[in-house]
Chains A and B, each alone.
Chain A
Amino acid sequence: MDFGETEERQALRTAVAEIARSFGPAYYAAHAAERKPCDELWAALGEAGFIGVNIPEEYGGGGGGLTDLALVCEEIAAQGTPLLLLLVSAAISAGVISEFGTDEQRKTWLPGLAAGTSKVVFAITEPDAGSNTHRLSTTAVRDGGGWRLSGSKYYISGVDEAEALLVVARTGEAGPKGPRLSLFLVRTDAPGLARHLLPVDVLLPERQFTLHFDDVYLEPESLIGAEGDGFRQVFHGLNPERITGAAMAVGIARHVLTTAARYANDRQVWSVPIGAHQGVAHPLAKAKIETELAALMTRQAAWQHDHGQPAGESSNMAKYAAAEAALAACDAAIQSHGGNGLSSEYGLMPYWGLARLMRIAPVNREMILNYVAQHSLGLPRSY
């Protein structure tokens, strides 16, 4: 068993960190406060080929795997500049198009995604269908060679930044194995598609939207993969989303723990730095342990995915552990900073918000516990 990281991966870490560091936490905090996308950082990473590491080389990508993409997500976040849309545009959309798209679709979409010049975000969640994909009601019906799409989606991140959406829609009556779902690429400027900002009180550079599809016409080439096979295809994208989400959470934890350790070493209220007080030190140490454990599980999940092994259990566990670790780390870091922990100047709150979001999305903590109870422990299904 080899726990070492190859020289290439170490170099990848260093190179990604170097770019992200040149932007840094102040850049992130300012963009989060203004709800402005981190375009410059995205472009710089794209130019160096880091956004498209998991895309095949013949379509302009790096020819690497999810392990590489997860490392990119972690390292960017560890420099205080997490990029939420990597989880959808790079992990889900690029992954699904690479795997199930036709050569024509790959040629159309992947080079832009690889270069970081365009984004494709993911639209699955609906007002009446959150974790329960069986209740999805957005429907595509045949219209000649193409399709007509109707329905609503909400909590869709980054629609304003994206060229297209990867939409999960119903294309027929439910069978014994669940609903007949299909995946479609829908341009964000398609006639009949309306978007409304969905305000959230978490400080994020990325914005969330409610979408309404009113009889949106889709060209025949909008369908990704086989009609009715969307359920299986979506699942191909969900593990990568969880794994990169876990990696990002690990990175957030690393960043806030580094920040807190520096502060606790410098800040002196009585005769010693506050880091000498165990009430300050132990929560940070505990979060550090949880972070490293989550990082290990994240690496295992990515490795399993890249080796074609079942990665559902480890992806879920990694995402659970990483979100919890990030939240514990943010909480301990904020507490270590006292009043400064809530200040704009010290900029910790945006990370807390993102970590808190990661407990809920892309799959919430309780659904993971359900999964583990049922699949890992053989307990009765709870819903």
Chain B
Amino acid sequence: MNIVVCVKQVPDTWAERKLKQGDATLDRESVDGLINELDEYAIEEALQIKEAHEGEVTVLTMGPQKASESIRKALSMGADKAVHLIDDALAGSDVLQTSYALAKVLENIGFDLIVLGAESTDARMGSMAAMLAERLSVPQLSLASKVEINGTAIKVNRQSEDGYWQVEAQLPAVISVVEKINEPRYPSFKGIMAAKKKPMQVMSCADAGIDTSLVGLANAATEVVDFTERPPRQAGTIVKDEGDGGNKAAEFLVTQKFI
């Protein structure tokens, strides 16, 4: 089975994340990048599927040179090869354009199953699985907390607020996974040493047949019109307990609509 995991390099969630003055795109230079956390669950799931059914796991990422760090991590976890879509024309692409670009690459490299993390920690659109499924005309099974594959049939538990739905489809398909699905493995020493020797294909827009007039900040369907820096944290209210501390705490919770 040919499994492709789409991963995204995002700014470290512990760092202070900022938009750039000027074009209002994410400032990727001033913070450390790392692999989007939910994508690690996607990689783990792909590896488990491969281990149970045989096949090959390919990691696909779109992003600047720095994104190769995330590819390296995925390869050291055990993925077999990688494709890095890198082109200046892609800078500032929104989710619609990114799904178009990734779909082009996926058509090129072929797939039986595409695995994604349910959302990224930076943009948090959570819509890539749906968009890829639409563009590639394959079923999507999103928010999976469990995946079962039997021949060409795929069955997932789709997480919802009250429980889960059981959703079935035929491969090829796109799935997105939630945190509950597994426990991602750590890269091993052997995995790290082997990562460099694994094939990594670098693709440009031209290689993938991506029309550059449809991608990039200038052609995006959505535009960030304005933004303001997050205000500094306000000092909290100190309630002095003079026998009525409980009431005062309750009053505070009422004003904040917690109770």
Binding site for B on A (CB under 8 A): 7-8, 11-12, 14-15, 18-19, 44, 48-50, 52-53, 62-64, 68
Contacts and interface: CB of A to CB of B under 8 A. Distances in A.
Q: Is the interface of B mostly helix, strand, loop or mixed?
A: helix
Interface in B174-193: 186-190, 192-193
Contacts of A15: 76, 186-189, 192
B196 A49 contact: no
B196 A64 contact: no
A11 B195 contact: yes
Nearest to B185: A48
Contact of B192 (A12, A19, A44, A52): A12
29 contacts: A7-B72, A7-B196, A8-B192, A8-B193, A8-B195, A11-B187, A11-B192, A11-B195, A12-B192, A14-B73, A15-B76, A15-B187, A15-B188, A15-B189, A15-B192, A44-B186, A48-B186, A48-B187, A49-B188, A49-B189, A49-B190, A50-B188, A50-B189, A52-B189, A53-B189, A62-B189, A62-B193, A64-B189, A68-B189
Cβ-closest 10 pairs across A and B = A49-B189, A62-B189, A15-B187, A49-B188, A48-B188, A11-B192, A48-B186, A53-B189, A19-B186, A12-B192
A283 to B, nearest CB: 27
Given A7-B196, A8-B196, A11-B195, A48 B189 contact: yes
Residue among B76, B186, B192 with most chain A CB within 10 A:
B192
Interface string B66-78: 0000001100100
Interface string B32-48: 00000000000000000
Contact of B193 (A14, A18, A44, A64): A64
B196 A12 contact: no
Contacts, number: 42
A44 B188 CA distance: 11
A129 to B, nearest CB: 37
Q: Is the interface of A mostly helix, strand, loop or mixed?
A: helix
B73 A11 contact: yes
Interface string B185-225: 01111101101100000000000000000000000000000
B76 A11 contact: yes
Nearest to A57: B190
Contacts of B73: 11, 14
A142 B14 CA distance: 62
Given A7-B72, A7-B196, A12 B186 contact: no
A169 to B, nearest CB: 34
Contacts of A48: 186-189
B41 to A, nearest CB: 15
A51 to B, nearest CB: 9
Given A15-B188, A64-B189, 12 more contacts: A11-B195, A12-B189, A15-B186, A15-B189, A18-B186, A19-B186, A44-B186, A48-B189, A49-B189, A52-B189, A62-B193, A68-B189
A86 to B, nearest CB: 14
Contacts of B76: 11, 15
Contacts of B186: 15, 18-19, 44, 48
A327 to B, nearest CB: 30
Contacts of B195: 8, 11
Contacts of B190: 49, 62
A236 B94 CA distance: 59
A209 to B, nearest CB: 31
Contacts of B189: 12, 15, 48-50, 52-53, 62, 64, 68
A11 B72 contact: yes
A19 B190 CA distance: 16
Contacts of A12: 189, 192
Contacts of A11: 72-73, 76, 187, 192, 195
A214 to B, nearest CB: 41
Nearest to B77: A15
A63 B193 CA distance: 10
B188 to A, nearest CB: 4
B150 to A, nearest CB: 30
Contacts of A50: 188-189
Residue among A11, A48, A64 with most chain B CB within 10 A:
A11
Residue among A48, A50, A52, A62 with most chain B CB within 10 A:
A48
A98 to B, nearest CB: 16
Interface in B56-92: 72-73, 76
Contacts of A64: 189, 193
A317 B137 CA distance: 65
Nearest to A51: B189
A343 B12 CA distance: 31
